[in-house]
Amino acid sequence: MPRSRQLLQLRWGDMDAYRHVNNVEVLRLLEEARVRAFGVPAADGSAPMLATGMVVARHEVDYLLPLDYRPEPVAVELWTGRVGGASFEVRYEVLAPGPEGGGERPHVRASTTCVSYDFAAGRPRRLSDAERARLAALADGPAGTGAPG
Amino acid sequence: MPRSRQLLQLRWGDMDAYRHVNNVEVLRLLEEARVRAFGVPAADGSAPMLATGMVVARHEVDYLLPLDYRPEPVAVELWTGRVGGASFEVRYEVLAPGPEGGGERPHVRASTTCVSYDFAAGRPRRLSDAERARLAALADGPAGTGAPG
Amino acid sequence: MPRSRQLLQLRWGDMDAYRHVNNVEVLRLLEEARVRAFGVPAADGSAPMLATGMVVARHEVDYLLPLDYRPEPVAVELWTGRVGGASFEVRYEVLAPGPEGGGERPHVRASTTCVSYDFAAGRPRRLSDAERARLAALADGPAGTGAPG
Amino acid sequence: MPRSRQLLQLRWGDMDAYRHVNNVEVLRLLEEARVRAFGVPAADGSAPMLATGMVVARHEVDYLLPLDYRPEPVAVELWTGRVGGASFEVRYEVLAPGPEGGGERPHVRASTTCVSYDFAAGRPRRLSDAERARLAALADGPAGTGAPG
């Protein structure tokens, strides 16, 4: 299954006063998985996959189970959803052992709509063929073939 | 219009390497507005409105305009959406001057599904009549009368 | 007394699993006070006071009392300590009501050594006379007249 | 050399508008290294090494080189400094490849004064013999034998 799987460390400071990983910090993990899967924007602003950058247009996040801090990394799996002219959807699952231990269980399911953006020009721009090919390589089943966004 | 309006300071550190307020930090602002509108959970874990706490089950966030750091606070307006047996929806708009200045414009629209939770018992619990009354007081138009969640 | 006094909001999310404002987040507050006192770096990187930017070289932070989350802002007072050729020291107190209420009490005392930095040239640069005058205006007593750094 | 060496992932979101890892986030890394070295406080508040918890009383942090985001982890090495009746000092180095690549170079040196704290009783408490033994095992040279704090 062509998913990207990123093993990400939690931080003790990700917990909030309820002593679970805070729901906002979960989005920080999704961001990190996205950055690692699609190429790290370099210090000078260049981005391996998306030459001129991208912006987040929308998030949907479902919290299925409370995520506890542990020193072992959690897995964030991500794949491509719908791909449009200048946008694409990233889908994720955050996987960690369940509250009773045992194997990995999904704790969070989410999707992000990203817009390919030309920061120099100050506006969205069409995805290139190379970018489409790279997104297609991470398409996971029928969802990845979807309609333009 | 019975919206709660919270004036919240941005922090310089909310910006990311793209020099806008980071999309994840926007959810921190929504959390803060929610906490202030529904009562501040005290240091001992008690919460004025939701006596036994609440958990976030889902977020939907639409980013309409990039949000720039400024020392002046932004406004987060929030109101009640659907109310169910043990859950309710909070809807928000983040309002700030537009990129060309001028009056307030919505930069972010979002909704959060909250579940009233009994942390001592470790499970969701039904909203009380007092809680329903308080949620109803923040209902903004027909959306607030919606079907059970 | 020529101190800068910045009223800064806490955020519920500043708390950690011990249910106090996390010690790391205190430095976020100091950063915010510093940015507001010395001029806000604009989105394009320009900075009203320090035309070419500045970097943090050192922090010393003493935590005197636990800081509790509250919706009311805390005060961060800051003033200039030692001023050197290409560096200056910022000193701070974080003031909030004490655990038993009553008047403001110092919860944190800290100092930061800042280096005036030319990001285009990639190296420190001497403070200009205008910058020295502005720093001198925030000198609080004999500490502000100190030896070169 | 009896140092604890923790390999910690950076996050893209640790960068600030200057496109380096923000100086405040460096303290988050130090916190994480400390938690991992001295035992992870469990979700119920228990802490393997420090049975009743600990609080941070003081930080000193020297920033030697700008730290750039990279997907590879950085190393935080830490060891015990002075140990007092109810307090101990943790010293750290953050190690990463230098700006021109090559081997590891120290980017940050820091120390934290921690106070062993009894949260139930609401006050500091003396370190136990078991805790002293564990701290001594991380003493790095003569500094670890230092005078009471």
**Chain C closest-CA separation from residue D61 CA (Å):** 5
Q: Lowest-pLDDT range, A15-29, A112-126, D7-21, D62-76?
A: A112-126
Residue B44: pLDDT over 50: no
Tell me the pLDDT band of A28, cut-offs 50, 70 and 90: very high
Tell me the pLDDT band of C69, cut-offs 50, 70 and 90: very high
Per-residue pLDDT, D49? 62
Across D92-121, average pLDDT: 91
Q: Which amino acid is at A74?
A: V
| Token pair in block for residue A149 | 């966004």
Across B18-25, average pLDDT: 95
The CATH topology of domain D4-141 is Thiol Ester Dehydrase; Chain A (3.10.129)
Residue D9: pLDDT over 80: yes
Across D79-98, average pLDDT: 96
Per-residue pLDDT, D50? 60
Q: Which amino acid is at A129?
A: D
Instruction: Pick A15's closest partner by Cβ from C16, C24, C69.
Output: C16
Residue C24: pLDDT over 50: yes
Tell me the pLDDT band of D101, cut-offs 50, 70 and 90: confident
Residues of chain B positioned with their CB less than 8 A from the CB of D24: 13
Across A60-77, average pLDDT: 96
The architecture CATH gives domain A4-145: Roll (3.10)
CA dist B24 → A23, A24, A56, B96, D74 (Å): 10, 7, 10, 17, 23
> Which residues have a Cβ under 8 Å from the Cβ of C29 and sit 6 or more positions away?
C8, C10, C74, C76, C94
State whether C56 and D23 contact (CB < 8 Å).
Answer: yes
Tell me the percentage of chain B whose pLDDT exceeds 70: 85
Across A48-70, average pLDDT: 87
Strand-pair partners of C100: none
Closest D-chain CA to B25: D13
State whether C62 and D58 contact (CB < 8 Å).
Answer: yes
Instruction: Pick D31's closest partner by Cβ from A9, A13, A28.
Output: A13
Residue B57: pLDDT over 70: yes
Residue C149: pLDDT over 50: no
Per-residue pLDDT, C36? 92
Domain ranges within chain D, ordered by starting residue: 4-141
| Residue given tokens 């917990």 in the structure block | A15
Residues of chain B positioned with their CB less than 8 A from the CB of D12: 16-17
Which positions in chain C have a beta carbon within 8 angstroms of at least one beta carbon in chain B? 8-9, 11-13, 19-20, 28, 31-32, 35-36, 40-41, 43-45, 68-71, 73
A-B Cβ pairs (cutoff 8 Å, strict): 50
C-alpha triplet D106, D112, D114: angle, nearest 5°: 150
d(CA B21, CA A12): 24
| Token pair in block for residue B142 | 């027909």
Per-residue pLDDT, D140? 78
> Which residues have a Cβ under 8 Å from the Cβ of D19 and sit 6 or more positions away?
A43, A44, A45, B17
Closest A-chain CA to C18: A17
Tell me the percentage of chain A whose pLDDT exceeds 70: 85
Residues of chain B positioned with their CB less than 8 A from the CB of D15: 16-17
| Token pair in block for residue B100 | 């060309």
> Which residues have a Cβ under 8 Å from the Cβ of D142 and sit 6 or more positions away?
none
Per-residue pLDDT, C11? 97
Across A95-112, average pLDDT: 91
Per-residue pLDDT, C39? 72
Q: Which of A6, A7, A12 to mutate to test the interface with D (most CBs of D within 10 A)?
A: A12
Tell me the pLDDT band of D111, cut-offs 50, 70 and 90: very high
Closest A-chain CA to D20: A43
CA dist A143 → A49, A108, A113, A135 (Å): 21, 18, 14, 12
* Measured distance between the N- and C-terminal CA atoms of chain A, rounded to whole angstroms: 24
> Which residues have a Cβ under 8 Å from the Cβ of C98 and sit 6 or more positions away?
C65, C105
d(CA D88, CA D100): 36
Closest C-chain CA to D20: C55
Structure-model confidence comparison of residues D48 and C129, the more confident one: C129
Burial B4-38 (b: 16+ CB within 10 A, else e): bebebbbbbbbbbbbbbbbbbbbbbbbbbbbbbbb
Per-residue pLDDT, D31? 97
Contacts 24+ apart (CB under 8 A), A38-45: A38/A134, A40/D12, A40/D69, A40/D70, A40/D71, A41/B17, A41/D12, A43/D19, A43/D20, A43/D68, A43/D69, A44/D19, A45/A119, A45/B17, A45/D19
C-alpha triplet A36, D14, A75: angle, nearest 5°: 40
Q: Which of C16, C19, C22 to mutate to test the interface with A (most CBs of A within 10 A)?
A: C16
Instruction: Pick D60's closest partner by Cβ from C53, C60, C66.
Output: C60
Across D119-141, average pLDDT: 87
Across B55-73, average pLDDT: 96
* Per-residue model confidence as pLDDT tens digits over C4-13: 999 999 999 9
Per-residue pLDDT, D143? 44
Contacts 24+ apart (CB under 8 A), C118-123: C118/C52, C118/C53, C119/C45, C119/C52, C119/C53, C119/D18, C120/C52, C121/C52
| Residue given tokens 């020295």 in the structure block | C132
Instruction: Pick B24's closest partner by Cβ from D13, D15, D19.
Output: D13
Average pLDDT, chain B: 86
Q: Could you tell me the pTM of the whole model?
A: 0.90
> Which residues have a Cβ under 8 Å from the Cβ of B102 and sit 6 or more positions away?
none
CA dist D123 → B24, B115, D128 (Å): 36, 36, 15
Closest C-chain CA to D120: C18
ipTM: 0.88
DSSP code, position C139: B
> Which residues have a Cβ under 8 Å from the Cβ of B104 and sit 6 or more positions away?
B75, B95, B96, B97
| Token pair in block for residue B47 | 């919460």
DSSP H stretches of helix in D21-74: 23-38
Residue B51: pLDDT over 70: no
Q: Which chains sit next to D, with 3 or more Cβ pairs under 8 A? A: A, B, C
Per-residue pLDDT, D145? 40
Residue B62: pLDDT over 70: yes
CA dist A34 → B141, D3, D72 (Å): 38, 34, 15
State whether A55 and B63 contact (CB < 8 Å).
Answer: yes
Per-residue pLDDT, D119? 80
DSSP code, position B142: G
Tell me the percentage of chain B whose pLDDT exceeds 90: 66
Residues of chain D positioned with their CB less than 8 A from the CB of B22: 13
Residues of chain A positioned with their CB less than 8 A from the CB of B120: none
d(CA A117, CA A52): 6
Q: Which chains sit next to C, with 3 or more Cβ pairs under 8 A? A: A, B, D
Q: Lowest-pLDDT range, A56-70, B80-94, C123-137?
A: C123-137
**What's the CATH number for C4-140?**
3.10.129.10
Tell me the pLDDT band of B48, cut-offs 50, 70 and 90: low
Residue B146: pLDDT over 50: no
A-C Cβ pairs (cutoff 8 Å, strict): 22
Tell me the pLDDT band of D99, cut-offs 50, 70 and 90: confident
Closest A-chain CA to C13: A16
Across A127-133, average pLDDT: 89
Which positions in chain A have a beta carbon within 8 angstroms of at least one beta carbon in chain D? 8-9, 11-13, 19-20, 28, 31-32, 35-36, 40-41, 43-45, 68-71, 73
